[in-house]
Amino acid sequence: QVQLVESGGGFVQAGGSLRLSCVASARTNSRNAMGWIRQAPGKEREFVASIEWSIGTTYYAESVKGRFTISRDNAKNTVYLQMNSLKPEDTAVYYCAARPVGIIPYSVNSYDRWGQGTQVTVSS
């Protein structure tokens, strides 16, 4: 069973940048894809971005397109989320999650493995 460990969260001013990392403990394969999901206080979990291990196809929520970039390093079993031009509304706990390829990437219900989350706080 894949275990996911996030890191890289923190406190940043609006307009700043952060890079999140997620290391998968078990060997990944082409049947899996990875995603970043976030949850702001008092709100439901929200899809942010997703990437497929094998061919690197990416998906983004409209709210982060052009500002966030998801990438992966297959040799390190690591997925990254580069977040630029951060806004206060990006403040949330960010979760790394895994899903089978072929499942709708934009639905949080597609993800069946989750990390513990990392806090991102953006001040205005």
3-state secondary structure 41-57: CCCCCEEEEEEECCCCC
* Residue 106 · residue 59 · CB < 8 Å: yes
Which neighbouring-strand residues pair with 32? Answer: 100
Instruction: Give residue for tokens 């894809």.
Output: 33
Instruction: Give residue for tokens 């291990």.
Output: 53
Percentage of the chain modeled with pLDDT above 70 = 95
Backbone conformation region of residue 102, classed left if phi is above 0, alpha if psi is from -120 to 50, else beta: left
* Residue 103 · residue 110 · CB < 8 Å: yes
Give residue 16's pLDDT.
98
Q: State pLDDT tens for residues 60-83.
A: 999 999 999 999 998 899 999 999
As given in the structure block, the two tokens for residue 55 are: 């061919």
